[in-house]
A and B are shown apart, each in its own frame.
Chain A
Amino acid sequence: MKNSLKEKFLSPSKQTYQESFGKIISSFCILIIIALVVSILGFVTTKGIDTFTQSKINVFDFLFGNVWSPSSTGANGKPEVGAAPMIVTSFTVTLISAAIATPFAIACAIFMTFIANNRGSRLLRSTIELLVGIPSVIYGYIGLTLVVPLVRSIYGGTGFGILAGAIVLFVMILPTVTSLTVDSIKSVPDYYIKASYGLGATRWQTIYKVVLKISLPGILTAVIFGMTRAFGEALAVQMVIGNSITMPTNLTTPASTLTSQLTTGIGNTIMGTLQNNALWSLALVLLFMSLFFNILIKIIGKRGAAKYES
């Protein structure tokens, strides 16, 4: 009896095998995801640097060059792959759209937490959450049929351009930024607000000096999330920006972003040629920017948390 008990205690049972099975299966799933991320980063990077290693294009010429014409040769005897017009346009539409969206998002968040009654805020909130889910092609389509004609009638020209792109992106990222801003404002501890009211501060003083100050890291994160989305958005922008690769000189003439050039270009170039590789270099820039935004969010999150603890 004793011996068989000891044996039972020292040998694996059905549960031991179940547990190993579960650990293996779930680790395997997480490994698939890791492998995917690593291979995306790897593939895009290797394809993206072909332009510089195989075709010996100077990185600075790529980043700061003004002329994008991979099939023709420039003054220095090398193909012209200056991505600056697209990089500048991408940044411009992103910054403009985020700049317009931020005050609206903050206003909506304040309205929902401090001004509206319960029903009003819930209605606004669920509508905004619904808008987060609207596909970007629909934003693009509305931009094409409403925004572009509007811009055309006011400023003349074609109507396509950075302004139209930025307006479309503004509407597109507004729900995302708003709903994240609401989360951040809601997370401000109630006793700060009560203390402020208790000291005789008005609602606006409380919001401005207490609430917005405490939730600043959260709001910044929300805006950067919005910018990540705006920077990476392809189709909505591609439909309204005009797709002309020139250095933008004003907001109402056709331009081209990194993403719009990628969408239109990949199908028209042949794998392995410089024309194609140059596009992959654009994708690499997109990848870097996405990583950069990620790091920025991390840093802000850490600083915010550290501030809260001290």
Chain B
Amino acid sequence: MQKYDLSKSYVKEVNSNIALETDQLSVFYGKKQATYDISLKIPKHSITALIGASGSGKSTYLRSLNRMNENGNTNVKGKIIYEGIDINSSKVNVYEVRKHIGMVFQEPNPFAKSIRGNITFALKNHGIKDKKVLEERVVSSLKQAAIWDEVKDHLDDSAMSLSGGQKQRLCIARAIAMQPDILLLDEPTSALDPVSTGKIEETLRELKKNYTIIIVTHNIQQASRVSDYTAFMHSGHLLEYNDTNSIFNNPEMQITNDYISGHFG
């Protein structure tokens, strides 16, 4: 593999309607640095894809956005600005952050509860007691996640009996039932078959009308299919950020071109 210059990058300036912004975000696992000074502005009501080879730091970066990196000896430096507040500050209530910025993981991880229980569990903990409100949230979130038709007749069955793709859409429903602003998805389809993947991509396109979505994906085609903006990361550096069309048709950096045409990754 040829050597690339990691000090050069092309980041398009996006200025209108910013949902989330990071300013020089660096993540450290102990002494090891995983991402380097990433500054990025994510536009509202759009899908932004983070692409790059394994170990490029894209998942690490994504997980810091709602402070899921706070275990053990992980250290996140820099600013994450949401609604004018630096939510990376230790003074900020992390539970409140996660209510506004939801997350869906690579491995479908519904709780060992009923389908309904999966959705209402967190809502109840956040103080929603009204049965009618809860039921509304169940219905609307399952509909938005495009799984309602498949499960509406057995909401009280165990979520564990669903197929992998259904489980993942349930997890998306569980996340949007919280009515977040931003939805982070960490390789949400990499454990799924093509049909389920297609359904989830369709769901995402629907969801971006109401949510800002950031998706990490290993699948370059997926990024080109669903996203409006694409950020390319390599070795912990953000190397190129542009609208998806430009990245895929006319990348500014040689390395980006090499990655999307499959020369490495």
- At the interface with chain A, which of B17-25, B88-96, B133-141, B224-232? B88-96
Give residues 1-56 of A contacting B (CB, 8 Å). Answer: 2, 5-6, 8-16
- At the interface with chain A, which of B4-12, B33-41, B79-87, B194-202? B79-87
* Shortest Cβ distance from A11 into B: residue: B93
* Shortest Cβ distance from A12 into B: residue: B93
Using Cβ atoms and an 8 Å threshold, which residues of chain B touch A5? 83, 85
Contacting pair B93 A10 (CB below 8 A): yes
Contacting pair B95 A6 (CB below 8 A): no
Contact A9 B97, CB 8 Å, known A2-B83, A2-B84: yes
Please measure, in the bound complex, the distance between the C-alpha atom of A6 and the C-alpha atom of B83, giving whole angstroms: 8
Using Cβ atoms and an 8 Å threshold, which residues of chain B touch A13? 93, 95-96
**Cβ of B16 under 8 Å from chain A:** no
Please measure, in the bound complex, the distance between the C-alpha atom of A124 and the C-alpha atom of B87, giving whole angstroms: 59
Using Cβ atoms and an 8 Å threshold, which residues of chain B touch A2? 83-84
Interface size class of chain B, counting residues whose CB lies under 8 Å from the partner chain: 10 to 19
Using Cβ atoms and an 8 Å threshold, which residues of chain A touch B97? 9
Within the complex, the shortest CB–CB distance from A23 to chain B, in Å, comes to 14
**Cβ of B72 under 8 Å from chain A:** no
26 CB-based A-B contacts, threshold 8 Å: A2-B83, A2-B84, A5-B83, A5-B85, A6-B83, A6-B84, A8-B93, A8-B96, A9-B85, A9-B87, A9-B92, A9-B93, A9-B97, A10-B91, A10-B93, A11-B93, A12-B93, A13-B93, A13-B95, A14-B125, A14-B127, A15-B93, A15-B95, A15-B125, A16-B93, A16-B95
Please measure, in the bound complex, the distance between the C-alpha atom of A2 and the C-alpha atom of B126, giving whole angstroms: 21
Within the complex, the shortest CB–CB distance from A7 to chain B, in Å, comes to 10
Using Cβ atoms and an 8 Å threshold, which residues of chain A touch B95? 13, 15-16
Using Cβ atoms and an 8 Å threshold, which residues of chain B touch A14? 125-127
Using Cβ atoms and an 8 Å threshold, which residues of chain B touch A10? 91-93
Within the complex, the shortest CB–CB distance from A14 to chain B, in Å, comes to 7
* Shortest Cβ distance from A6 into B: residue: B85
- B26-47 CB mask vs A (1 if < 8 Å, else 0) is 0000000000000000000000
* Shortest Cβ distance from B87 into A: residue: A9
* Shortest Cβ distance from A5 into B: residue: B83
- A105-149 CB mask vs B (1 if < 8 Å, else 0) is 000000000000000000000000000000000000000000000
B binding-site residues for A, Cβ under 8 Å: 83-85, 87, 91-93, 95-97, 125-127
Within the complex, the shortest CB–CB distance from B193 to chain A, in Å, comes to 32
Give residues 34-89 of A contacting B (CB, 8 Å). Answer: none
Please measure, in the bound complex, the distance between the C-alpha atom of A5 and the C-alpha atom of B96, giving whole angstroms: 10
Please measure, in the bound complex, the distance between the C-alpha atom of A2 and the C-alpha atom of B87, giving whole angstroms: 14
Please measure, in the bound complex, the distance between the C-alpha atom of A19 and the C-alpha atom of B3, giving whole angstroms: 47
Please measure, in the bound complex, the distance between the C-alpha atom of A185 and the C-alpha atom of B175, giving whole angstroms: 47
Using Cβ atoms and an 8 Å threshold, which residues of chain B touch A16? 93, 95
Within the complex, the shortest CB–CB distance from B126 to chain A, in Å, comes to 8
Please measure, in the bound complex, the distance between the C-alpha atom of A11 and the C-alpha atom of B93, giving whole angstroms: 6
Within the complex, the shortest CB–CB distance from B21 to chain A, in Å, comes to 16
Using Cβ atoms and an 8 Å threshold, which residues of chain A touch B93? 8-13, 15-16
Within the complex, the shortest CB–CB distance from B117 to chain A, in Å, comes to 19
Within the complex, the shortest CB–CB distance from A187 to chain B, in Å, comes to 27
Please measure, in the bound complex, the distance between the C-alpha atom of A8 and the C-alpha atom of B83, giving whole angstroms: 12
Please measure, in the bound complex, the distance between the C-alpha atom of A15 and the C-alpha atom of B126, giving whole angstroms: 8
List the 4 shortest-distance A-B pairs measured between CB atoms, nearest first. A15-B95, A9-B92, A9-B96, A9-B85
Please measure, in the bound complex, the distance between the C-alpha atom of A14 and the C-alpha atom of B87, giving whole angstroms: 18
| Contacts beyond the supplied A10-B91, A16-B95: 15 A-B pairs with Cβ under 8 Å | A2-B83, A5-B83, A5-B85, A6-B83, A6-B85, A8-B93, A8-B96, A9-B92, A9-B97, A11-B93, A12-B93, A13-B93, A14-B126, A14-B127, A15-B93
Please measure, in the bound complex, the distance between the C-alpha atom of A186 and the C-alpha atom of B85, giving whole angstroms: 55
Please measure, in the bound complex, the distance between the C-alpha atom of A5 and the C-alpha atom of B95, giving whole angstroms: 13
Using Cβ atoms and an 8 Å threshold, which residues of chain A touch B96? 8-9, 13
Using Cβ atoms and an 8 Å threshold, which residues of chain A touch B92? 9-10
* Shortest Cβ distance from B83 into A: residue: A5
Give residues 182-207 of A contacting B (CB, 8 Å). Answer: none
Using Cβ atoms and an 8 Å threshold, which residues of chain A touch B83? 2, 5-6
Please measure, in the bound complex, the distance between the C-alpha atom of A117 and the C-alpha atom of B208, giving whole angstroms: 59
**Considering residues B84, B87, B96, B126, which has the most beta carbons from chain A within 10 angstroms of its beta carbon?**
B96
Using Cβ atoms and an 8 Å threshold, which residues of chain B touch A6? 83-85
Within the complex, the shortest CB–CB distance from B95 to chain A, in Å, comes to 4
Please measure, in the bound complex, the distance between the C-alpha atom of A10 and the C-alpha atom of B85, giving whole angstroms: 10
Please measure, in the bound complex, the distance between the C-alpha atom of A257 and the C-alpha atom of B125, giving whole angstroms: 59
**Considering residues A5, A8, A9, A16, which has the most beta carbons from chain B within 10 angstroms of its beta carbon?**
A9
Please measure, in the bound complex, the distance between the C-alpha atom of A13 and the C-alpha atom of B91, giving whole angstroms: 12
Please measure, in the bound complex, the distance between the C-alpha atom of A15 and the C-alpha atom of B99, giving whole angstroms: 11
- A151-191 CB mask vs B (1 if < 8 Å, else 0) is 00000000000000000000000000000000000000000
Please measure, in the bound complex, the distance between the C-alpha atom of A16 and the C-alpha atom of B95, giving whole angstroms: 8
* Shortest Cβ distance from A15 into B: residue: B95
Please measure, in the bound complex, the distance between the C-alpha atom of A168 and the C-alpha atom of B252, giving whole angstroms: 81
Within the complex, the shortest CB–CB distance from B17 to chain A, in Å, comes to 16
- A265-290 CB mask vs B (1 if < 8 Å, else 0) is 00000000000000000000000000
Please measure, in the bound complex, the distance between the C-alpha atom of A6 and the C-alpha atom of B97, giving whole angstroms: 11
Using Cβ atoms and an 8 Å threshold, which residues of chain A touch B127? 14
Using Cβ atoms and an 8 Å threshold, which residues of chain B touch A15? 93, 95, 125
